[in-house]
Chains A and B, each alone.
Chain A
């Protein structure tokens, strides 16, 4: 016990604070191990005299801890000195005292009642901090998202060539051996047609049955993985890198209604 103040002080003087903090903990370990080995709770019945010595020794270590923990844990030091009642006399033990004396707290001195020095930190408290960081991460990603510059101007005649209609997804299956593609059956009012769409990373097939969508119906058919796609579903990018459907806000818009 008496060696610790010099060991800890030596580490601090060499600016090795990590090492010093672990030596501080080793002093507490020494005390903990001493009590665990001596088991005063088992000896109190048959050998109370021995327990007196054990508790005397343990109290010396506790008092030493209250002094040498001060640089690291100043609030704990004050609390612990209060519990041990070693400040009431106004004489605080110095670092020198705890490295030289073996009797730091004398017989017949009255200590105080137990008080919790450290409380357990629950998983939920840690999770709350991690959630806070996650929110920051998402906000940064949203901020860093590059908004594409506007494309070149087109005439109304160009726009009106597009035939865009409201539709409903009736069936959806993954295109085998692809990551991104879903094969959809979509009711677009004028007919029900097959559309291959690159949305599989954002949606499960079973979740989008009945989904209202916006479809370009007069796009020239094109084969994707051997399946002819007869149109294109319009999607928007979201800040977290996923896709979102563009759907009419009003349910009474029926399939086949033109968007213009």
Chain B
């Protein structure tokens, strides 16, 4: 270890800006990524650690509608809360951006255009689910139905949260509109698809074969199961009015699919950082000696191990992740953490309730991190980690050293005499 200096680009999953950050996010993504980034800086590497708010997509527009405000109001509110709580918690991002930033719209548009111009997309006019009453196409979270894979009756149009499968809205059995509850009709519309099936063989070789020894088994397992099921072309555009406009003629009223633009946010955030620091962003994303590592939760594996790499491969000039150490989920007091049910410990509330105790939560979440399986956070365990480990072991040792040095030697580090065997064993 600790060989020569290396360049690292470390990304932490972009928090979705329809609510604040909770301990599940911290344990799964931000704390481990922060430990990793800080360690690599300590060992003298060239590190950029980036993140930002993911501000597009359907759930934000649903929340805005419900609260009678604009999507921009929603993201402005939560971006401010999230950004401040990360800062106060000591998450050492080199840059925290947002996907409504100009630089991101530009970066994502150019990325799409390049793929479009080089014929990497399939253009297809097809029947899509449509809600007549709301006069709107239904994709992603606008539609709920039965998952074709596991039978979960509350699967979303783009992903089933129960089995993790990612699919197209038209795959759902018994679809219902999340806006009106109506059974949707279908209507013809044009979209652009990334032909993931064409990348299947390459993905299998790169991940299942190439990384079989260094990627986490939970990640490899998910990737393998998707590849075994067979990949299908995936729409990268949507009929929506909130998002990044599809930058080609004849695409009015259409935006980029949120999972197309969000991972490009890592690139935009790096650009924003480089511009501010007077650096060149490109080596961090295009030099093959750079190590790119994505920290995410298990619900994002398909996007970071299948879709985004396929996008990067299609673009051609970018490096691929060296690793995607996805974590499992953290539960709270025996129940699944839920933003909509307010079943969570919110970071900004923790920081208020436990001032100056950032490190205690960082430690408790790390010592009990859901690395290989789902884990449970309990306040009793939090208390025990603090009282029995940080106070009784770490704190007690330091306190004794400092108190005794002050008491016996007036705070001056003494000159040692002969070392015993125990001394030597201890110090080496």
Q: Which residues of A does B touch, CB under 8 Å? A: 1-3, 6, 9-10, 12-13, 15-18, 20-22, 25, 28-32, 34-35, 37-38, 40-41, 44, 48-62, 65, 67, 69-76, 80, 83-84, 94-96, 99, 102, 105-121, 123, 125-126, 128-130, 133, 136-137, 139-140
Contact = CB atoms under 8 A, between A and B. Distances in A.
B35 A118 contact: no
B367 A22 contact: yes
Interface residues of B, number: 76
B323 A35 contact: no
A111 B369 contact: no
B411 A94 contact: no
Interface string B380-410: 1011001101110111111111111110110
Given A17-B366, A112-B411, A129-B353, A57 B423 contact: yes
A9 B1 CA distance: 8
Contacts of A41: 404
Interface stretch (B37-45, B102-110, B131-139): B37-45
A121 B418 contact: no
Contact of B401 (A25, A35, A49, A140): A35
25 contacts: A6-B1, A18-B366, A18-B368, A21-B366, A22-B367, A35-B401, A40-B404, A52-B409, A52-B417, A56-B415, A57-B416, A57-B419, A65-B394, A73-B363, A74-B38, A111-B402, A111-B405, A114-B403, A116-B395, A118-B394, A120-B386, A126-B383, A129-B353, A133-B332, A133-B343
A29 to B, nearest CB: 6
Given A75-B358, A118-B391, A53 B419 contact: yes
B239 interface: no
Contacts of B362: 72-74
A16 B371 contact: yes
Interface string B82-101: 00000000101000000000
A140 B345 CA distance: 16
A57 B426 contact: yes
Contact of B416 (A56, A69, A119): A56
Given A110-B411, A118-B395, A58 B363 contact: no
B405 A72 contact: no
A10 B90 CA distance: 23
Secondary structure class of chain A's binding surface, majority of residues: helix
Contact of A120 (B92, B389, B391): B391
Contacts of A2: 427-428
A41 B405 CA distance: 11
A70 B43 CA distance: 12
Contacts of B423: 53-54, 57
A140 B36 contact: no
Contacts of A20: 35, 366
A3 B426 CA distance: 10
B387 to A, nearest CB: 5
Contacts of B422: 34, 37-38
A10 B39 CA distance: 11
Contacts of A56: 413-416
Given A22-B367, A95-B43, A107-B416, A113 B402 contact: yes
B206 interface: no
A34 B362 CA distance: 27
B34 interface: yes
Given A32-B396, A52-B414, A52-B416, A74 B92 contact: yes
B32 interface: yes
A110 B414 CA distance: 10
Contacts of A119: 391
Given A12-B39, A74-B92, A74-B359, A34 B426 contact: yes
Given A12-B39, A95-B2, A121 B405 contact: no
A17 B341 CA distance: 30
A65 B413 contact: no
A5 to B, nearest CB: 9
Contacts of A6: 1-2
Interface in B19-52: 31-32, 34-36, 38-39, 42-44
Nearest to A96: B2
B42 A67 contact: yes
Contacts of A29: 393
B202 interface: no
B24 to A, nearest CB: 14
A10 B323 CA distance: 16
B237 to A, nearest CB: 35
